[in-house]
Structure 1
Amino acid sequence: MLKCIIEGVDFIASDLKDEYGVYKSIEREEIRLKGYSNALICPCCKKPVRLGAGNIREPYFAHKDKKECIYSREFSEDIQKIKLKLYTILKANFNGNVAIDYFHDDKLFSSILLQKDNKKLAIEFFKISQIRRIKSKIESYQNIGNRFLAVIIDNPSTVSTYNKSSLEYYASDNNPNGIVVYASNNEFELHKFIRPSSKYQTRLKRSFDIDLFNVSIDGIFDVKFDEDSDYKMNSESEIISEQIPDNYSCKYEKDEAELITTDIPYISKQKITTKQNITYNQINSIKQKKKKRTFDIIYSVPFDLTLSCFIYKVRSYCYNIRNNIAVNDNKFKLMALIQNHFDYPNYIKALKDCANREGLDYVLIVIEKCEIKAKQIYQNIE
């Protein structure tokens, strides 16, 4: 517990330390003695509490009896630290009133409550596994007509989409503008999903220093997401191969006979079908800007997919090969697909990890062939 009541006034345990994190010795002893005389009262159940102010944990209050109320068991220590840090930052940055552990009644309190112009915004903190807790909070705030902003304190997700049964989904659905907030001791990240009503989505991310954390009373951050640059940043340079989901989603919904290129700066956007007779010279005549590819693009298969879609397509071709479905055709498509994405090292690393994990030996053979061929190309250029 971060707060107690002393003689009818709220007292925050962190006030026992100065700006350098050193205890104020006299104040600490005074509060400790008041705890012995039952002068420290829990703001929730109104029962006596004691002060815990050692050198390992941050100062806190705890109930004297073993039967604790909802306030004392609400948060873990890591959540308490981030909550307290954001409270201090918002006290300096937010243009309005800021309260910590604000009690609406004996069953609901807000971790941080912002108030301005007769409006209220609660800020709540969650770990990624606390699905039941966020559902309960959503229902509680809906009952009192209060808006709240969900903040996740676990490591930010790197998967391009979110599962509709995940805490991220509920946070995005509840938070204004659909933004998911991750916070740590050093920085906070804002995640936004494009096409939030669709199964296939793109994650945009922006990172900031935690000391710059500020939000409007409506729960809106003064941040603009550039869909083109942010998408390129997150889909190419920040992909982590270990974070491949078990059930890969695929953005490539069109039939293989019809392919629309993705909107990236070095390929002109155009509609191409396999029914057209595209000659080798016509393919080479398309000018590629800014980026030189190792292999020529083979337009009869997808290219420049997201990581999850790329893995999904590779697995689908492998499935067809294993089940003797158009084996030669699928082997060609598999080789072409890997070549079309060969210049994304994260993709190839992720594919190797997936192939080793699932025993896709043929995929490893194809990657090795591509690597050998790439070396020959580089040697010829030199």
Structure 2
Amino acid sequence: MDICYYNGMEICTYDLKDESGIYYQDTVMEWKRRAAERKLICVDCGSPVYLAAGLIKEPYFAHYDIVSCTYGKRMESQELMRGKRLLYHMLKRSFPTKEIHIRHRLPNGLYATCYVKNEEGYDLALDYRLQTLPIKELDLRVQYYDEQGIIPVFLLGIRQDKQEGQLSWYQTYIQNLSGSCAFLDSEEEKLIMKHHITYLESGKRKSKVYQKSYNIHNLSLSEDGRFLCDFYGDCERIKEELEEKEEREQKRLKEIREKERRYHVEQMRQDSFLAAEQERKEQRYNLKLQEYLEWCKQESLLKIDFHTITLPEGIRRDVLLNCIEMIKNGQEEMISKRYLDYIYKLIKE
């Protein structure tokens, strides 16, 4: 146990050490004397407790006898206790005039690891865990904090940091609430902050995790629940750089597409021009060919004496002579097929 009552006041084992983890031995001896006088009382069951303050483990309160006390039966790891001590001192440093509680019981029966009462603004509830909560309980906590106007600050133990390319659903949940996901390494006494960034690269969705570590003794917490450091600014800068990079890439691709469009338009224009030119050439060729054929026809007609030639039955000479004149005048379409076939037969012969 990390808290108990002494003369009706709550005392905390984390006040027995300074930020460097060195004991205030005068306070240790004072509390041990009060424990021997049975003046240190369990906050849950009201039974007397004693103080254990050795050099290996973190200090704690414990019952003299085995009792059915839920708080007294809780066994906490040294990692958790060290982490709570570091966070407690960070809060004391951040809010020197505020009332700070460890294992604060909320009106709905839930507990906060640390709690800062702020008469001038919003209270802060710090939730430090070595393991994750089920989403139902997490939603319940967040909903209650929101309804009561309490700012939550969630932190995880370092073993929850799996060093993967993206955050878990629980860590993303925390990031959405606080702007980052923080992992406390109580052994190294540092805080690792992470932010999962999703962005577009050449139109495709990508992601990366930006992280930065800080010495916990150099950090403070603001009244809005954010750590006073450059991490949040770094995240915004990285997002802006990625967005600007994508904008430049999209602009480059747009310019390429525009060049391709102009090229295709020019290619179509040239193809259309070449096709028209080819059509004109074919027309000129056909015209010359027609003129040549017409010339050949005229020459062939001049060689035939239509006045003396023996005519077959059904062909009249006067009509034939009229047809010859019509051919010379380019009026073949006005000649009947019978006479036209006969004339062409003569030309071929």
**TM-score normalised over the length of structure 1:** 0.52
1:111 to 110, 113, 117: 113
- Given the alignment of the two structures, is residue 125 of structure 1 paired with residue 128 of structure 2, yes or no? yes
Verify the 8 A CA contact 2:35 2:49 in the aligned structure 1.
yes
Q: 1:210 maps to which residue?
A: 216
1:271 partner letter: L
Counterpart CA distance in 2 for 1:28 and 1:220 is 33
- 1:32–1:217 Cα change, 3 Å: same
1:151 deviates by 0.7
- Given the alignment of the two structures, is residue 6 of structure 1 paired with residue 6 of structure 2, yes or no? yes
Counterpart CA distance in 2 for 1:70 and 1:23 is 25
Counterpart CA distance in 2 for 1:95 and 1:23 is 20
What does 1:1-382 correspond to in 2, within 5 Å?
A: 1-17=1-17, 21-23=21-23, 27-63=27-63, 64-70=65-71, 73=74, 75-94=76-95, 96-101=97-102, 102-105=104-107, 107-116=109-118, 117-131=120-134, 134-135=138-139, 137-142=141-146, 144-155=148-159, 156-164=161-169, 167-175=170-178, 178-185=179-186, 186-195=189-198, 201-222=207-228, 223=230, 224-226=232-234, 230=238, 263=246, 270-271=252-253
Give the alignment's Cα RMSD to 1 decimal: 4.1
Give unpaired runs (5+ residues) of structure 2: 200-204, 261-349
Verify the 8 A CA contact 2:49 2:61 in the aligned structure 1.
yes
Verify the 8 A CA contact 1:86 1:213 in the aligned structure 2.
no
1:220 partner letter: R
1:7 deviates by 0.6
Verify the 8 A CA contact 2:19 2:217 in the aligned structure 1.
no
More helix by share: 2
1:86 partner letter: L
Counterpart CA distance in 1 for 2:7 and 2:209 is 50
**TM-score normalised over the length of structure 2:** 0.56
Counterpart CA distance in 2 for 1:119 and 1:125 is 19
Counterpart CA distance in 2 for 1:219 and 1:213 is 12
1:75 deviates by 4.5
Deviations 1:25-75 (A, max 9, x none): 554344334334432112234333221122321111123434232476284
1:201 deviates by 4.0
1:144 deviates by 4.1
Q: 2:331 maps to which residue?
A: none
Deviations 1:307-340 (A, max 9, x none): xxxxxxxxxxxxxxxxxxxxxxxxxxxxxxxxxx
Identical-pair percentage: 21
- 1:17–1:159 Cα change, 3 Å: closer
Verify the 8 A CA contact 1:96 1:114 in the aligned structure 2.
no
Counterpart CA distance in 2 for 1:229 and 1:53 is 46
Give unpaired runs (5+ residues) of structure 1: 236-260, 279-382
Deviations 1:203-261 (A, max 9, x none): 2223222122222212134433445875799x9xxxxxxxxxxxxxxxxxxxxxxxxx9
2:11 partner letter: F
Counterpart CA distance in 2 for 1:162 and 1:263 is 23
Counterpart CA distance in 2 for 1:20 and 1:228 is 33
What is the aligned length? Answer: 246
Counterpart CA distance in 2 for 1:24 and 1:219 is 30
Name the larger-Rg structure. 2
Verify the 8 A CA contact 1:119 1:217 in the aligned structure 2.
yes
Counterpart CA distance in 2 for 1:124 and 1:19 is 20
1:13 deviates by 1.8
Verify the 8 A CA contact 1:90 1:214 in the aligned structure 2.
yes
Deviations 1:275-317 (A, max 9, x none): 9999xxxxxxxxxxxxxxxxxxxxxxxxxxxxxxxxxxxxxxx
Q: Secondary structure at the match of 1:270?
A: helix
Q: Secondary structure at the match of 1:191?
A: strand
1:87 partner letter: Y
Verify the 8 A CA contact 1:126 1:134 in the aligned structure 2.
no
Verify the 8 A CA contact 2:14 2:88 in the aligned structure 1.
no
Counterpart CA distance in 1 for 2:72 and 2:198 is 38
- 1:270–1:68 Cα change, 3 Å: farther
107-116 vs 206-215, which moves further: 107-116
- 1:19–1:189 Cα change, 3 Å: closer
Counterpart CA distance in 2 for 1:125 and 1:161 is 21
1:170 deviates by 2.7
1:88 deviates by 1.2
